[in-house]
Amino acid sequence: GVDYATAVPSFERLDSILRARAPSASESSLYYSYFDYAELLLVGTENQKALKCIDRFIETSPDYYEMEKVYNARGVALFRIDQYEKAADSFKKAMAANPDYMAPRVNLRGVFLRVNAVEQAMLSHRLGNYEAALKQVDNLLIIATSYLPALRLKGDILRDMGRDGEALDYYQSIVAENPEDPITYGVRLEMARILERQGELKGALEVLGANASRFSKVPNDPTRAEIIRIMDLLQKKP
């Protein structure tokens, strides 16, 4: 098997050396160690670390002779952390690099199955079939536990079913795990609306303030209008 105890410290030492001193032209193949390390990390399902190594490898060795394998590995790492849209982009790059390489085609099918599942749940939700939508999104979340569009959709379904407390819990879990992700902009707006309905105006204002500080360049930003409106409500509150 893979000797992680020996391999990981060795790769980390080499990474420190490469960052401190760029190798000469004759030593440039040392950068290939990043991809070797990434493949090791993927075997150990350390997907976030693998992704960083692959990105470092792409940065340092853009002319590597088997880039299709690099982009496919990147797609696998992204797929495993439920970032399906980004995974699809990487698999497509792998296919473009070598149309005869079959692995990314197979992997891309797995992405489409999951994206299609959330789109089906979204359709049920839009049609008002909330129970069906909830069942569909729950089935997806069994295998894609951290897929943000699915988590957001479940919160929206629960909200529309009148289950504000459960919806708020889902929204809060998204924000806690992914505070800077663009999807949290809309999530915080929904959180603020629920908190306002619950009479928690200060809590709503705090959530909106987090939006304003993180996403300061949103065009026609509704967050600021909501902040002004809720501050006005607080001033009028006896």
C-alpha 199 chain-centroid distance: 32
pLDDT tens-digit readout, 10-24: 677 766 666 666 655
**Structure tokens given for 31:** 């950068």
pLDDT at 32: 76
Q: What is the pLDDT along the chain (238 residues), one digit of tens a residue?
A: 455 556 666 677 766 666 666 655 555 566 677 788 888 888 877 899 889 889 988 988 888 889 999 999 999 999 999 899 999 999 999 999 999 999 999 999 999 999 999 999 999 999 999 999 999 999 999 988 889 999 999 999 999 999 999 999 999 999 998 888 888 889 999 999 999 999 998 898 898 888 888 887 776 678 888 888 888 887 777 6
Which residues of the chain form beta strands (DSSP E)? none
> CA–CA separation, 14 vs 70, rounded Å?
20
> CA–CA separation, 84 vs 148, rounded Å?
10
Residue found under tokens 């359709």: 123
> CA–CA separation, 7 vs 157, rounded Å?
46
> CA–CA separation, 182 vs 5, rounded Å?
37
pLDDT tens-digit readout, 129-156: 999 999 999 999 998 888 999 999 999 9
Which amino acid, 98? N
Which residues of 41-168 form beta strands (DSSP E)? none
Nearest CA among 38, 44, 109 for reference residue 79:
109
How many other C-beta atoms can be found within 10 angstroms of the C-beta atom of residue 213?
9
Task: Confirm if 136 and 144 have CB atoms less than 8 A apart.
Answer: no
**Structure tokens given for 7:** 């391999």
> CA–CA separation, 70 vs 67, rounded Å?
5
Residue found under tokens 């993180």: 214
**How long, in residues, is the chain?**
238
Domain 162-238 has CATH 1.25.40.10: yes
> CA–CA separation, 149 vs 155, rounded Å?
10
Burial of 5 (0-12, 13-18, 19+ CB in 10 A): exposed
> CA–CA separation, 61 vs 70, rounded Å?
10
Contacts of residues 215-223 at CB distance under 8 Å and 24 or more positions apart, as own/partner, are 215/182, 215/185, 218/185, 222/189, 223/185, 223/188, 223/189
> CA–CA separation, 96 vs 77, rounded Å?
19
> CA–CA separation, 81 vs 145, rounded Å?
9
Domain edges within the chain:
162-238
